[in-house]
Amino acid sequence: MPVLVMKFGGTSVADLARIENAAKKIQSEVARGYDVIVIVSAMSGKTNELIGWVETTSKLYDAREYDAVVASGENVTAGLLALRLQVMGIPARSWQGWQVPINTTSAHGSARFVAIPRANIVQKFGEGFKVAVVAGFQGVSPEGRITTLGRGGSDTTAVAFAAAFDAERCDIYTDVDGVYTTDPRITDKARKLDRIAYEEMLELASLGAKVLQTRSVELAMRYKVRLRVLSSFEDTDENSGTLVCDEDEIMESKVVSGVAYSRDEAKMTLVKVEDRPGIAAAIFGPLADAGVNVDMIVQNISELDSPTDKRAHTDMTFSCPVNQTARAQKAMEDARAAGLFTYASLVVDTDVAKVSVVGIGMRSHAGVAAKMFASLAAENVNIKVIATSEIKISVLIDRKYMELAVQALHDAFDLEKA
Amino acid sequence: MPVLVMKFGGTSVADLARIENAAKKIQSEVARGYDVIVIVSAMSGKTNELIGWVETTSKLYDAREYDAVVASGENVTAGLLALRLQVMGIPARSWQGWQVPINTTSAHGSARFVAIPRANIVQKFGEGFKVAVVAGFQGVSPEGRITTLGRGGSDTTAVAFAAAFDAERCDIYTDVDGVYTTDPRITDKARKLDRIAYEEMLELASLGAKVLQTRSVELAMRYKVRLRVLSSFEDTDENSGTLVCDEDEIMESKVVSGVAYSRDEAKMTLVKVEDRPGIAAAIFGPLADAGVNVDMIVQNISELDSPTDKRAHTDMTFSCPVNQTARAQKAMEDARAAGLFTYASLVVDTDVAKVSVVGIGMRSHAGVAAKMFASLAAENVNIKVIATSEIKISVLIDRKYMELAVQALHDAFDLEKA
């Protein structure tokens, strides 16, 4: 029998009615002839409740006990969904991480998969079971302790099972009906994509489109798992949602696939930093140590400061999430006080947003950047920082122009049309 | 190191404050030099919530999935308590049933212990851990599925661990401060017992004193586990609560230790049942099949019905919980309709209660029954049914006299005085 992996997130199993709804979607796939492996999250809110209890009990908690507590929410939904499937006449069995077993590293709270042996579940399929309902987000360490995979771990579990079982596809049921050319709340011209390449999805995921967790897309790309995002609250069929797949599977060839944004950015500029070998490491080492997630980095060309001062200077600009600004500022001031480097001043701008265009077609098409900048200029949107990768171009702009910029770019690249 | 087992019920771990309170009691015992094994229930209300979800999902649920869901509440409290102990500087580790492992039969929902290997927990004690926090009420079947032990299973888990680890004592922390001569809500003369014999506790437990679950007392008696009942909401020391122990350990020798009662009883009489070999089996077989918990049984002497009818007849009276009356009635009518036996009429009295005196001293003292009947007669309480065992005498009386009867018997046997 071909294997299909289906994943239901917290909102899709939030109560008994939604669990029943999920069961019906599984029933359809069983009817199509699949052996189905279902990955479930905890009921929405439950994991946060458990985390709250742990953090209230112990600020510097033992991650082994954190995992033992926090993983319990998924066990409940796995059992309840298996029961609901049985009521519908479908032989189903629930699986906790240690029962499969889902072997992971011992890195509690952010464990990584080591192996997912197929034998136990395959044996149950052989006995006539049609569905294995697996508790997501969890595994078991070599020491026999329960581990968790960190936030978004249920998506990652689903992809790992799809890879381990050579599944035909991995369907991620969530509260949106697919991946859009941009956020439909910003422009009603946003269009659902039928297909998107792994690389594009990765850029979109890390740029703030919250549909799929980055690590699960990386894993899908590495193991060539065909990943489908679709809604658990609508009627769906084999063509619903968005398929995340290899670019070879994508016929249409738009240059730009989507426009992403990230609202809460901050821009920081170190003015007149001494320019010498190792200066970047001297700056970004302390930022990393302080847990600042630096995103874009731009270094202006250096220039001689004055005829009498022979040291070269440069301006170094970087962006980070706005709520990490204070931490970043302190790290820079401490580093200067410790004599790691000097700078004239630190300019902080907390009113910026990031807008990006993403498209695998950029690899072979020139002129995307020029078109992007021209359309922003036409709207009088000033660009503060630019960063590019092979398949995306990102700009920092004033936050108040963010929606305008997204709409302008969506129009400029004709994303409304399929 | 000597081992102590401590058990905290649902009300004793109902929230984070109470978990902290439990941790302090454990801390005291660690300070006294014990390696401590703690058995925890789920937060009060949680198990019922989970059971509700299972029963709503599936009326005829798969007990394997019921167990997988319902056992999760104890995992949460075990982890949280281990964390709280760590915060207090006490090396502690949580244990789920499959991790110990607590090997049980495959009788899901009412599994029985097969073995509790000591090796894993002993190894952790050897590594410097002082406390093992074990999720109560659960185990693992030979097939590697999670099992539960049925209601009261956490008490039973505690006693089983005390037996397996040769614990010095098994302390059951609950919301009462010990075992009383009778229910203090019925008479303020009720006195807390310092010690009580296993056999007496068994009679009290099964007679409606809800302090300890019957099966846990049976297990304690079989393995000579010294069991202590004490309050988790009061300051306690080594002499607190009530010790349930072998009668050899009890110095005081009251003839009667306590007065128990059960409010919701019903009395049923089959009038003029034919009296022949096998008639009792013919009556009580169908009752057992219908799930009726028959308690007392009294058969009057038989008499010839009339000179012309040579068949002998008798009246058969039994008691059962009042909420099983309808079921019992139907079972009898069906049995008569099926021709299993005949009777003239079925008299049902749903307004009765059971009152019992219990005491291991009865074995060697005559006159207890006479004194009991006399003191009830002095209060004009009519006795409807009498049943006796080696160490108890039970009577059914009108429910409205129940409190009066308990008070009278408590006085008659001088239970107020130590």
Q: What is the pLDDT of residues B331-343, one digit of tens each?
A: 999 999 999 999 9
The set of residues, in sequence order, having a beta carbon less than 8 Å from that of A258 and lying 6+ positions away, is A179, A180, A181, A182, A193, A196, A200, A204, A209, A357, A358, A359, A415
CA distance A132 to chain B (A): 12
Question: What torsion, rounded to 10 degrees, do the Cα atoms A227, A233, A234, A238 define?
Answer: 20
Amino acid found at A230: L
Q: How do residues B346-388 score in pLDDT, each as one tens digit? A: 999 999 999 999 998 888 888 888 899 999 999 999 998 898 8
Work out the minimum CA distance from B48 to partner chain A, whole angstroms.
Answer: 13
* Chain A CB contacts of B16 below 8 Å: 53, 56-57
Cβ within 8 Å of residue B211, ≥6 positions away: B174, B176, B179, B204, B205, B229
Question: Under an 8 A CB cutoff, do B57 and A99 touch?
Answer: no
Task: State how far the alpha carbon of B298 is from the alpha carbons of B270, B326, B333, in Å.
Answer: 11, 20, 20
- Which long-range CB contacts under 8 A does A56-63 form with residues at least 24 apart? A56/B16, A57/B16, A57/B19, A57/B80, A57/B83, A57/B84, A57/B87, A58/B83, A58/B84, A58/B86, A58/B87, A61/B83, A61/B86, A62/B82, A62/B83, A62/B86, A63/A108, A63/A109
- Cis status, amide bond into B277, omega within 30 of 0: no
Q: Residue A134: list chain B partners with CB under 8 A.
A: none
Chain A residues in contact with B56 by the CB 8 A cut-off are 16
Phi, psi at B272, each rounded to 5°: 60, 55
**Which tokens in the block code for residue A260?**
């992403």
Collect all residues with Cβ–Cβ distance below 8 Å to B249 and sequence separation of at least 6. Answer: B195, B226, B243
Q: How far is CA A209 from the centre of its chain?
A: 8
With CB atoms and an 8 Å threshold, state whether B57 touches A93: no
Cβ of B61 and A83 within 8 Å?
Answer: yes
Predicted local distance difference test score (pLDDT) of residue A142: 96
Q: Do A72 and B76 touch (CB under 8 A)?
A: yes
Cα–Cα dist A389/A409, whole Å: 18
Q: What is the pLDDT of residue A415?
A: 93
Specify the residue for token string 């809460």.
Answer: A264
Distance CA A163, CA A159 (A): 6
b/e string for B27-37 if b means 16 or more Cβ within 10 A? bebbeeebbbb
Percent of chain B with pLDDT over 90: 74
Chain B residues in contact with A47 (beta carbon < 8 A): none
B50 vs A68, A76, A86: nearest CB? A76
Q: Which residues of B touch A76 (CB under 8 A)?
A: 50, 53, 69, 72
Residue A313: its pLDDT value, please?
82
CB contact under 8 A, A79 and B65: yes
Provide the pLDDT for residue A241.
Answer: 94
Mutation test of the interface with chain B: which of A18, A40, A62, choosing the one with the most B Cβ atoms within 10 A?
A: A62
Tens of pLDDT, residue by residue over B177-224, are: 899 999 988 999 999 999 999 999 988 876 666 788 888 999 999 999
For B68, name the nearest residue in chain A, comparing CA atoms only.
A79
Q: What is the 3-state secondary structure (H, E, C) of chain A?
A: CCEEEEEECHHHHCCHHHHHHHHHHHHHHHHCCCEEEEEECCCCCHHHHHHHHHHHHCCCCCHHHHHHHHCHHHHHHHHHHHHHHHHCCCCEEEECCCCCCCEECCCCCCCCEEECCCHHHHHHHHCCCCEEEEECCEEECCCCCEEECCCCHHHHHHHHHHHHCCCCEEEEEECCCCCECCCCCCCCCCCECCEEEHHHHHHHHHCCCCCCCHHHHHHHHHHCCCEEEEECCCCCCCCCCEEEECHHHCCCCCCCCEEEEEEEEEEEEEEEEECCCCHHHHHHHHHHHCCCCCCCEEECCCEECCCCCCCEEEEEEEEEEHHHHHHHHHHHHHHHHCCCCCCCEEEEEEEEEEEEEECHHHHCCCCHHHHHHHHHHHCCCCCCEEEEECCEEEEEEEHHHHHHHHHHHHHHCCCCCC
Contact B94 A68 (CB under 8 A): yes
A196 pLDDT exceeds 90? yes
The CA-atom distances, in angstroms, between B110 and each of B107, B136, B140, B276 are: 6, 13, 12, 37
Tell me the shortest Cα–Cα distance from A118 to chain B, in angstroms.
16
Q: Which residues of B touch A66 (CB under 8 A)?
A: 79, 83
- Are A183 and A258 spatial neighbours (Cβ–Cβ below 8 Å)? no
User: Using one digit for the tens of pLDDT, what is the confidence trace for B101-133?
Assistant: 999 999 999 999 999 999 999 999 999 999 999
Q: How far apart are CA B372 and CA B13, in angstroms?
A: 41
The pLDDT value given to residue A377 = 92
Among B16, B75, B82, whose Cβ lies nearest the Cβ of A53?
Answer: B16
CB distance A93–B69 less than 8 Å? no
Measure the N-to-C terminal CA separation of chain B; round to a whole number of Å. 35
| Amino acid B313: pLDDT | 82
For residue A50, which residues of chain B lie inside 8 Å, CB to CB?
A: 76
Least confident residue range of A297-301, B41-45, B286-290, B302-306: B302-306
Tell me what the pLDDT averaged over chain A comes to.
91
- Residue A307 above 70 pLDDT? no
Q: Are B36 and B26 in contact (CB under 8 A)?
A: yes
Position B49 confidence tier, pLDDT thresholds 50, 70, 90: very high
Q: Is residue A207 scored above 70 in pLDDT?
A: no
Q: Reply yes or no: is the peptide bond before residue B101 cis, omega within 30 of 0.
A: yes
Non-local CB neighbours of A352 within 8 Å, separated by 6+ positions: A265, A266, A267, A319, A384, A396, A397, A398, A399
Residues of B with CB under 8 A from a CB of A: 16, 19, 50, 53-54, 56-58, 61-62, 64-66, 68-69, 72-73, 75-76, 78-80, 82-84, 86-87, 93-94, 96, 98-99, 144-146
CB–CB of B54 and A80 under 8 A?
yes
pLDDT, tens only, B227-248: 999 999 999 888 899 999 998 8
The residue count for chain B: 418
- Confidence (pLDDT) at A252: 65
Distances (CA, A) of B19 to A375, B40, B192, B212, B254: 61, 10, 26, 21, 38
Contacts of B388 (CB under 8 A, 6+ apart): B369, B394
Cβ-defined contact of B96 to A57 (cutoff 8 Å): no
Nearest by Cα to B225 from B159, B176, B134: B159
Give the pLDDT confidence of A233-288 residue by residue, as tens digits.
Answer: 999 888 899 999 998 888 766 789 999 999 889 999 999 888 888 888 889 999 98
Query: Cβ B80–A86 below 8 Å, yes or no?
Result: no
∠ CA A182-A188-A192 to the nearest 5 degrees? 50
Can you tell me the distance from the alpha carbon of B399 to that of B264, in angstroms, rounded to the nearest whole number? 8
Domains, in order of start, for chain B = 3-175 (3.40.1160.10), 260-412 (3.30.2130.10)
Phi, psi of B190 (to 5 degrees): -55, 135
The per-residue pLDDT for A302 is 60
Residues A57, B99: C-beta atoms closer than 8 Å: no
Those residues whose C-beta lies under 8 Å from the C-beta of residue A222, and which sit 6 or more positions away, are none
Give me the residue label for tokens 């167990």: B67
Q: Contact A68/B61, CB-based, under 8 Å? A: no
Q: Please give the pLDDT value at position B214.
A: 84
Residue with tokens 């003292």: B365
Give CA–CA dist A166/A180, Å, rounded: 28
Interface residue of A13, A20, A72 to substitute, partner B, most B CBs within 10 Å: A72
Q: What is the ipTM of this complex?
A: 0.78
Subunit contact A75:B72, Cβ cutoff 8 A:
yes
C-alpha angle A404-A409-A412 in degrees, rounded to nearest 5: 125
Nearest to A113 by CA among A96, A99, A101, A131: A101
- Res A214: pLDDT: 84
User: Using the beta-carbon criterion (under 8 Å), do B68 and A19 form an inter-chain contact?
Assistant: no
Q: At residue A204, does pLDDT exceed 90?
A: no
8 Å CB contact between B101 and B117: yes
